[in-house]
Amino acid sequence: MAVDFAGMYREQCRRSGYGQKSSRHWDQRAASRDKRAPDGIYTEACLSRMDFTGVQTVLDIGCGTGNLAIPLARRVRHVHALDFSPEMLAHLQAHRRQAGIKNLTVHQLSWADSWRGVPRVDLALCSRALGVADLRAALTKMTRYARRRCYAITHVGGSFLGPDILARLGRSIVPRPDYIYAVNILYQMGLRATVDFLQTTARMPYATPEAFLDSVRWRIGDLQPREITRLKQMYRQLPVQADGQRVYQHHFTWAMLGWETTPA
């Protein structure tokens, strides 16, 4: 009897309390995301691992403010950038105009929407945007839109919080489903994914303790009074940069999955 990895993914989402963020949630974070220093190391790590053989068109799913869409537009004939957050796309459009990029089309759509107006492309990409309720449906959809190959970059591990924050919280968490579910689901779809691992470090500045607390709430939900006290103590111990903001440094590991959509 075959193992139902898609069902196991849905069950792990349920057990972990993992909930999808709405476009409104991402709208609220668009400006702060855009103010961060460009994630050039992550961008270059991703692009350097992609096979652009025969690729003239790209679909960037969950494009955000354009961290990958803008440099991709400099490499290929045309990029279709898709996101469900209008604020994220507004920042992307500003970056596109500033960079003088004309070969980029924006689509305000979610995973669940009909993509009828989105053309098939040579390469479909989803970077850090696979937090969906139905992972098999998402992988099937992006595969269907790619004539040659797909890449998906997703988190390794069961939490987006650093181990130091988890230790301060002192709570045990049920891990969220990570990349291995996607590998196994693709295998059951008849697609043999390659896996590469990327190591990145994010420097996250916070002007106030409340901003720091909000970033933790974003990932784990409501906080108990004792947890708030512990995190405020942690905030006061963070290093201070020149502008007075305190900086939290977080090390991430990402899994970059790649698969061909046509027989070799």
Taking the C-alpha atoms of residue 148 and residue 263, their distance in angstroms, rounded to an integer, is 9
pLDDT for res 42: 92
What are the pLDDT digits (tens) for 64-122? Answer: 999 999 999 999 999 999 999 999 999 999 999 999 999 999 999 999 999 999 999 99
Q: Which range has highest mean pLDDT (21-35, 63-77, 155-169)?
A: 63-77
pLDDT class of 29 with cuts at 50, 70, 90:
low
Q: CB neighbours (10 Å) of residue 191?
A: 17
Distance CA 24, CA 101 (A): 27
The alpha-carbon radius of gyration of the chain (Å, integer) is: 19
- CA distance to 14, 21, 225, per residue, from 221 (Å): 14, 12, 13
**Residue spans of alpha helices (H) in 221-256:** 225-236
User: Which pTM does this prediction carry?
Assistant: 0.89
Residue 172 has pLDDT above 90, yes or no: no
Mean pLDDT for all residues in the chain? 91
List pLDDT tens digits, range 228-243. 999 999 999 999 999 9
Residue 47 CB-half CA count within 13 A: 17
- What is the reported pLDDT for 210? 96
CA distance 47 to 68: 8
| CA–CA dist 133, 33 (Å, integer) | 24
On the question of pLDDT at 30 being above 70, the answer is: no
Q: Which domains are assigned to the chain? A: 5-160+174-202+252-260 (3.40.50.150)
Q: What percent of the chain has pLDDT over 90?
A: 76
Q: Residues 156, 223: contact at Cβ < 8 Å? A: no
The residues, any chain, with a CB within 8 Å of residue 173's CB and separated by 6 or more, are: 16, 158, 159, 166, 220
Q: Which of 82, 10, 33 is nearest to 202 (CA)?
A: 33
